[in-house]
Amino acid sequence: MAGTIPNRALSRRRFLTTAASSAGLTLVGGIAKPYLSRAADRPLITHGIQSGDVSTDSGVVWARTDRPARMLLEVATNDLFTDIRNAVAIDALPESDFTAKALLEDLPAGQDIFYRVRFEDLSSPTVVGETKIGHFRTAPNHRRSVSFAWSGDTAGQGWGIDESRGGMRTYATMLNNRPDFFIHSGDNIYADCPIQAELKLPNGEMWRNLVTEEKSCIAQSLADYRGNYKYNLMDANLRQFNAEVPTFAQWDDHEVANDWWPGQVRADYDNINASLLAARGRRAFCEFMPVRQTLAETGRIYRKVSYGPLLDVLLLDMRSYRGSNTDKSGTASHFLGAAQVDWLKRSLMNSTATWKVIAADLPIGLVSEDAIAQGDGSPLGREFEMADLLSFIKHAGVRNTVWITADMHYTAAHYYDPNRAIFQDFEPFWEFVSGPLHAGTWAPGGLDNTFGPAALFQKGCSAEQGENLAPCFGLQFFGHVTIDGASEVMTVTLKDVGDRDLWSTRIEPKLGRWSGVPAPRRI
């Protein structure tokens, strides 16, 4: 079908009607024919469906079933599926914990794409399970307005799914904003934070978690890591969000273990090498997140996703190539690694998009035990990589870079200005921090002066509230970005779980050299 379908959510009525209309059909040689269904023994879609890494002509679709089965995937440009463009079959086997991913290609640009998924039992091919329908929108190939949301930190510090309190409510709030896609900036899971049945709140009430066996212990085995992703997907808000908004996923430390680095010997894990834990954590991440990379390929997490002429998203990996946290200020210390830095420089140089959004696991100038910042003064250790990169961006004439991140469990807007910095060979830029999605909230942290950041806005918990404030107290955050198709102006808004606009700024695209700090708009 030619033309663009309006971007809209599937209504519950339309969803159920469409699902029911396809429940008794299977595609054989392009002709719909009835299949045999034993309702009590059909393959189940166990944890919803999701999409990710969407570009102008492609996207990834994911689902999981409960047995060896074949994922049957059909794709159309309308939610009635009257113009099926693709039919794909992917096996879900025990080796991948019955997860299946399909890379859809040759899709039309700037188009609403609807996909429906069901599984065919490999031991009884005539037995086909329920159908679920999802949606994403491909990137435009012209200057159309785009939007995205970002955040991080899901199910951390013991705060799991309390259904009596609405579950992971931030996902429902983000869905109401109808972003074209979502960037999860890391800590998709907290593999090192077990979930207990009950936690006492400061006001005397009880927080009551859903509990699973695999989420009741610190993850070490591959099954444990997989179980952490499956736990999050028990949440109805997350499953609905995943079915309607594609995710661009990156990782940080809690997908493996707190503050890990390659080669670290973990005394708290009976002296297991963190690289072994990371191999298991990486495998589970590749299996359960809708990323293009799979373990059979490189398992590489850093990558670029082009979202039309206005936007390139460069997703970093600040975990896999770093040096030791115990020697982070040494001259040989590194954070991104030479190969990733070279890739980032090339990607920035080759980008023709107006805006280059650099999605980082951690902030640049915020002092934290395992982050980049080394305290006030000239660059040290890990900061050398950042100084080199920022200097390269300036001298290569790369314009319109914006950094986004999470990890700190509060939200903030940082403006980096060489006039305030000790190291001054860079152009001013913005960095925005948001999170947690569903985890404990912290108080804002301190900034060092190496690269001259100033906190123009920050919001977290207060000293009176204490650290690790539960999600039910409303201090859960995400960021929302819009880029206007006509003016190319980027508007960044920091928001909370109640969908309140906390702070916002408009950033004009730079066509020449920088000429001043964009004026924020306070809400």
Contact 407, 439 (CB under 8 A): no
CA 183 distance to own-chain centroid: 4
Q: Are strands 490-496 and 181-184 parallel, antiparallel or unpaired?
A: unpaired
Using only C-alpha atoms, the chain has a radius of gyration, in whole angstroms, of 23
Give the whole-angstrom CA distance, residue 433 versus residue 445. Answer: 12
pLDDT digits (tens, 9 = 90+) for 435-467: 999 999 999 999 999 999 999 999 999 877 878
What pLDDT does residue 485 have?
A: 97
Intervals of the chain under pLDDT 70: 1-40, 294-297, 512-523
Reported as half-sphere exposure (CB side, CA atoms, 13 A), residue 199 has a value of 22
* DSSP code per residue over 275-319: HHHHHHHHHHHHHHS--S--TTTT----EEEE-STTEEEEE--SS
* DSSP code per residue over 173-238: HHHHT--SEEEE-S-SS-TTSPPPSEEE-TTS-EEE----SGGGS---SHHHHHHHHHHHTT-HHH
Q: Is it true that domain 302-516 has CATH number 3.40.50.300?
A: no
* List of residues 6+ apart from 282 with CB closer than 8 A: 251, 255, 256, 295, 299, 301, 320
Contact 479, 491 (CB under 8 A): no
The encoded tokens of residue 392 equal 């390269």
Q: How far is CA 174 from CA 148, 171, 411, 438, in A?
A: 10, 5, 15, 12
What pLDDT does residue 8 have?
A: 37
First to last CA, the chain: 43
Q: 171, 183, 207: which is closest to 468 by C-alpha?
A: 207
The encoded tokens of residue 220 equal 């070490």
Contact 211, 195 (CB under 8 A): yes
Report H helices in 64-168. none
Q: What is the H or E stretch that residue 118 is in?
A: strand 112-121
CA 462 distance to own-chain centroid: 27
What pLDDT does residue 377 have?
A: 96
The encoded tokens of residue 199 equal 């936690």
Give residue 68's identity as a one-letter amino acid code: P
Contact 454, 425 (CB under 8 A): no
Give the whole-angstrom CA distance, residue 463 versus residue 291. Answer: 39
What pLDDT does residue 329 have?
A: 81
Buried b (16+ CB within 10 A) or exposed e, 446-456: ebbbbbbbebe
DSSP β-bridge partners for residue 73 = 88, 117
pLDDT digits (tens, 9 = 90+) for 312-361: 999 999 999 999 998 888 777 899 999 999 999 999 999 999 999 999 99
Instruction: Break the chain into its structural domains and give their ranges.
Output: 12-136, 173-299, 302-516
Q: Mapped to the 3 state alphabet, what secondary structure does 261-282 carry?
A: CCCCEEHHHCCEEHHHHHHHHH
What pLDDT does residue 85 have?
A: 84
Architecture of domain 12-136: Sandwich (2.60)
